[in-house]
Amino acid sequence: MSKKKLNIRNKLYGLLLFNLIWYFVAGLVDSPVLIGPVATYVNMFNIMPSMWSHLTVSLERIVVGLLISILAGAAIGIVMARSPKVNSMLSPLVYFTYPVPKLALLPVVMLLTGIGEISKIIMIILIVIFQVIISTRDAVNNIPKDNYNVLISLGAGKMQQFREITFPAILPDLFTTLRIALGIAVSVLFFTETYGTDRGMGYYIVDAWMRINYLDMYAGIALLSIMGFLLFLLIDLADTVCCKWNKAISV
Amino acid sequence: MLRIRDISVKFGDTTILNRINLELNAGEIYGIIGPSGSGKSTFLHVLCNIIQAFEGEILLNEETLHPRKHKIAFVPQHYGLPDWQRVDRNILLPQRIRKEDNSEHFQAHYRNILEGLDLTGLTKRFPRELSGGQRQRVSLARAFVQRPDILLMDEPFSALDAITSENSQELFLNLWKENRTTTIFTTHNVAEAVKLGKRIILFSPAPATVLKVIDNPVHTQEKTNDEWEMMRFTQEIKSHIKALWE
């Protein structure tokens, strides 16, 4: 219990520290292009109604993109770990495409899928899924064989082995991957939303920038950050609830 | 009666088990002694269906041994307790896999085993929150709770310190006396084999064959420990090992 409290206190401390630094730097620089936190938050609340629809669009793209990446990536990772044949077929492809700067593929994806929702979601998936595949595969490979052996000796089927062993064993790694993926996905989303769309937080921020409305621009950045932060907290919460055993203190 | 006929296992070109033949009586404890890497674990893995590529046949009461037909309880060397399952969920794993009922009668049996292995207060802990001895007892509980036709234990006490190991052996023997399960365990500790095994099976260095099956005159399941007789028999086994392994 005290550990959990400490965790929350740490997060609040981080939030406070960040805003303090922002506050003092903005005060020191004293420039119209570096707006401080107080003015930003006040404006954010004032223009919230006009930002709301942009926020929900961005949130939807992130959630759908991440969900597809995690589900498909984990499935591929598990199959690769359990089948040497599939692994030797897909591994070279995954390794080859891993360092390719996929953000640069945005024009290609947009040419192929148009400027609608699909291109944004595909970009998120394209960038996040490889990480999910690799970390899932490695997590499955790290499960002690003894765990499976006991189930085999009981005559357990493949589905029972998945439910009792594979899935719970890789869950903590999936949450870790999801955390990393979230940070990347928010950045990718921002980038994709600056082209060929008039909806989403990325569009809102760049539009305000072009209109030289720095107050709105900062409000947009702050709101996008808060969205990311809240999603991050949500993942943390799910991790704490689902993987209590992983926090158990070893004897 | 468990009949093991001409069991051979090869990994590539390497022969691990070379024509193992054994006939084991129901309701007895058999201890397999063999050098490290001689294929003792492989032999147990064949019996519990983990290794399916083998020659020969295994018959339990004239029927091919299989986890779908028989209750095989396996205690692996490192206990094989999933970290994410609390002690009670771990022990009841066989019930879930076989979708067996959770009757009053079973509950009494379950509680009896928890008490017998001194686990009653630990059921809500995760394996990581247990000591080595406690983890080993959870693994034993999971084996006994299913009232198995056959119990297989791979080096069950070797990871424990001397005192914990002795304590665990006592608890095991008490529980075994109530259930009389046909048991096969492996060990490289002669004293352990003598203490627990009604009969002692000597494996050769790799590739494993059965060198000798020795009746244990001082098996503790029937009479009180006769320390002197036990020491004498331990020496006898050791001299067999010396003569046969070289």
The CATH number given to whatever domain includes residue B202 is: 3.40.50.300
Q: Would the CB atoms of B82 and A164 count as touching at under 8 Å?
A: yes
Residue B43 forms contact with A (CB below 8 Å): no
Q: Would you say B63 and B100 are in contact if contact means Cβ atoms under 8 Å apart? A: no
Predicted pLDDT of residue B224: 54
Please give the pLDDT value at position B43. Answer: 95
Note the pLDDT of residue A3.
Answer: 57
Quick check: A33 and A214 in contact, CB under 8 A? Answer: yes
* Residues of A at the B interface, defined by Cβ within 8 angstroms: 144, 146-147, 149-156, 160, 164-165, 168-169, 171, 243-246, 248-251
- C-beta of residue B148 within 8 angstroms of C-beta of residue B180: no
What pLDDT is attached to residue B158?
Answer: 87
Using an 8 Å CB-CB cutoff, list chain B residues near A152. 48-50, 67
Tell me, yes or no, whether B236 lies in a domain.
Answer: no
Cβ–Cβ < 8 Å for B118, B136: no
Q: What is the CATH number of domain A56-245?
A: 1.10.3720.10
Predicted confidence (pLDDT) per residue in B60-74, tens digit: 998 999 999 999 999
A174 vs A131: CA distance, rounded Å: 10
Residue B80: closest CA among A80, A93, A148: A148
Residue B92: inside a domain, yes or no?
no
Position B65 scores a pLDDT of 94
* Confidence label for B225 from pLDDT (cuts 50, 70 and 90): low
B126·A245 Cβ contact <8 A: yes
Task: Nearest by CB to A249, from B48, B80, B129: name it.
Answer: B129
- CA end-to-end span of chain B, whole Å? 32
- pLDDT tens for each residue of B98-134: 988 778 889 999 999 999 999 999 999 999 999 999 9
Q: Is B138 part of any domain?
A: no
- Report ipTM for this prediction: 0.89
User: Per the CB < 8 Å rule, is B77 touching A248?
Assistant: no
Domain count, chain B: 1
Helices (H) and strands (E) in chain A, counts: 12, 0
Q: Is B164 on the interface with A (CB under 8 A)?
A: no
Exposed, middle or buried, B99 (CB in 10 Å: 0-12/13-18/19+)? exposed
Cross-chain Cβ contact B80/A169 below 8 Å: no
Residues of chain A in contact with residue B73, where contact means CB-CB under 8 angstroms, are: 153
Plot region of A111 (φ>0 → left; ψ -120 to 50 → alpha; else → beta): alpha
- The residue among A154, A242, A243 with the most chain B CBs within 10 A of its CB, best to mutate, is A154
Min CA distance, A246 vs chain B (Å)?
Answer: 7
Q: Do A146 and B152 touch (CB under 8 A)?
A: no
Q: Residue A239: list chain B partners with CB under 8 A.
A: none
Note whether residue B54 is domain-resident.
yes
Rounded to the nearest 10 degrees, the angle between the axes of helix A37-46 and helix A48-82 is 100
Residue B97 maps to a domain? no
Question: pLDDT tens digits for chain A (251 residues)?
Answer: 455 566 778 888 888 999 999 999 999 998 888 999 999 999 999 999 999 999 999 999 999 999 999 999 999 999 999 999 999 999 998 888 878 888 888 889 989 988 888 999 999 999 999 999 999 999 999 999 989 999 999 999 999 999 999 999 999 999 999 999 999 999 999 999 988 888 999 999 999 999 999 999 999 999 999 999 999 999 999 999 999 898 877 76
Range of the domain at B178: 2-86+149-211
